[in-house]
Structure 1
């Protein structure tokens, strides 16, 4: 059960980062920037880059970043708790079956087997979430839902107005 909760938390974390990236994209950020900033907000690391100004200077993006930060902290606590509970030896694992043949596993081996399952499972999930077209379709559907339910207001011009080194974009009204 702890392994299931551990993997469920990882899947939800991956989905939260992808949905956050999609929300950032809808506010006008480029795809690569939005993915990096979403992961950065979720993990609480790397948020001191100059690209972070794109988020802190925009009210919708700040709101998205806040949700990602809260979800990231909750996910980290859940992962630590379930990982620690998974590594705890049990008396005997009698649920393990190999081709319908029950194989009792001694208690001292259960943490190592669980660790092996976790490493292989995380590797498989990373491959699934980084190279799967299913996840891309899920992200596209999430974008449609965010626009449909007006969760995120789509903007296209914002990135053009952001400039570096003191330059800016201005608007002048000229009356004839």
Structure 2
């Protein structure tokens, strides 16, 4: 029974550690889903090669968070394996229809239910926020909530190609604001970064532009090609944005 209880405690601590890591990464500017994936990947030591991993590795604060998660994950996995072995030895000795097996499965079901509870998630997030603010030097700002990224808004990067509608046009001519899309920054091919670019800034082939707006608006912009069809899509997007704004005012 001791081995089974130890196993449940270790799993609980693992969930808590990855949750703390997720919230810490969110506070550094990662989206909720990206932060969750990176935290779990680091804790389990499974490796990650997504686009967000470059942002994590290049940031000293995020790198420090993942280093701690990797260290705790190595210790946690070894302990978990030991507990699993002892748990199965205990179950084998007492039989598969014993108190031990009932406690094990009941505990696992309870942990799954708690991990999916939105109420528990909100309370736990609040406690972790306060702890991070009080006991760490991490700048506790939840950019995910600040930018309303859970309400169909997103921050996204687009690589500008030669045949794209965006290519060789100034921001003033593109009028992306009228579509409800904001250009936060542009990274040129030579590595130069332009933050909060103005209307006379020209989008060039090979640029990596950072956008903020509705998911569907950014996806439409990413797939838009040059020519009359692209201009028509832009006009339709502007009309849709006006309708959206009018609806928001009426509400």
**TM-score class normalised by the smaller sequence:** 0.7 to 0.9
Partner of 1:55: 56
Instruction: Kindly indicate whether residue 15 of structure 2 is the aligned counterpart of residue 5 of structure 1.
Output: no
Counterpart contact for 1:42–1:68, Cα < 8 Å? yes
Alignment TM-score, normalising by the size of structure 2: 0.54
Q: How many Å separate the matches in 1 of 2:22 and 2:84? A: 27
Q: How many Å separate the matches in 2 of 1:62 and 1:82? A: 30
Number of residue-to-residue matches in the alignment:
156
Alignment gaps of 5+ in structure 1? 91-105
Secondary structure, aligned partner of 1:88? helix
Partner of 2:66: 65
Q: How many Å separate the matches in 1 of 2:138 and 2:97? A: 44
Does the C-alpha gap of structure 1 residues 34 and 110 become closer, same or farther in structure 2, counting only changes over 3 Å? same
Pairing of 1:94-113 with structure 2 (within 5 A): 107=93, 109=95
Task: Report how far residue 107 of structure 1 moved.
Answer: 3.4
Secondary structure, aligned partner of 2:159? coil
Instruction: Kindly indicate whether residue 113 of structure 2 is the aligned counterpart of residue 121 of structure 1.
Output: no
Does the C-alpha gap of structure 1 residues 114 and 164 become closer, same or farther in structure 2, counting only changes over 3 Å? farther
Alignment TM-score, normalising by the size of structure 1: 0.74
Does the C-alpha gap of structure 1 residues 126 and 170 become closer, same or farther in structure 2, counting only changes over 3 Å? same
Does the C-alpha gap of structure 1 residues 65 and 111 become closer, same or farther in structure 2, counting only changes over 3 Å? farther
Q: How many Å separate the matches in 1 of 2:22 and 2:194? A: 29
Task: Report how far residue 161 of structure 1 moved.
Answer: 9.4
Partner of 1:93: none
Does the C-alpha gap of structure 1 residues 138 and 153 become closer, same or farther in structure 2, counting only changes over 3 Å? same
Cα RMSD (Å): 3.1
Partner of 1:148: 134
Partner of 1:165: 159
Counterpart contact for 1:89–1:110, Cα < 8 Å? no
Counterpart contact for 1:87–1:115, Cα < 8 Å? no
Partner of 1:136: 122
Does the C-alpha gap of structure 1 residues 165 and 107 become closer, same or farther in structure 2, counting only changes over 3 Å? same
Does the C-alpha gap of structure 1 residues 145 and 108 become closer, same or farther in structure 2, counting only changes over 3 Å? closer
Deviation digits for residues 53-99 of structure 1, max 9, x if unmatched? 12111100000001111111111111110110111148xxxxxxxxx
Counterpart contact for 2:22–2:36, Cα < 8 Å? yes
> Higher strand share goes to which structure?
2
Secondary structure, aligned partner of 1:87? helix
Counterpart contact for 1:28–1:154, Cα < 8 Å? no
Partner of 1:77: 78
- Please say which structure displays the higher CA radius of gyration: 2
